[in-house]
Amino acid sequence: MSDFDIRSIPFGDSTTADDVVDTLGFFDDWEDRYKYIIDLGKELPPMPDEMHTESRIVRGCQSQVWLEIDYDADADCMYLAVDSDALIVRGLGAMVLAALNRKSPRAVMDFDMEGYFDKLDLLKHLSPTRGNGVRAMVERIRKEAAALA
């Protein structure tokens, strides 16, 4: 196995959902917003190829998406990692991590993801399949959180 450490991914501590909302609010057009989303994805460490397994694939996404979830019971903290073969989807994954990474299962379940996406004005600017993919990613994380709560 590689040196990939899911617990070292900074999203959720150094980049929060509020940061994403504030930064996207600075941009006047969606071309600039898409560039920012792609840049967020570039900040994520790529998962090693050996982690691109069938069990980690998120179904419902237009692109290949892999999701890893780890839980520290002592800290009551979920650690998330996401990877994709599409830059925009990696960025969308980073936005999800900004909201849900390094949170307790209860906090993950309580987070208003639809409200977050509404603040970003995001889903109406994505293709239906991309929007479904983001929702599938969130749903998988929430199911794991519910099992842990």
Spans of all domains in the chain: 6-148
Active site residue 61: yes
Q: Cβ neighbours of residue 100 under 8 Å, at least 6 residues apart?
A: 12, 78, 80, 108, 111, 113, 138, 141
Give 2's pLDDT tier (boundaries 50, 70, 90): low
Spell out the CATH class of 6-148.
alpha beta
Asked if 97 contacts 80 with a C-beta cutoff of 8 angstroms, the reply is yes
Centre a 10 Å sphere on the Cβ of residue 118 and count the other Cβ atoms it contains: 12
- Above 60 in pLDDT, residue 29? yes
Distance from the first to the final alpha carbon of the chain? 29
pTM beyond cutoff 0.85: yes
Give 1's pLDDT tier (boundaries 50, 70, 90): very low
Nearest to 13 by CA among 102, 81, 82: 102
Query: Which residue among the candidates 40, 44, 61, 67 is catalytic per the annotation?
Result: 61
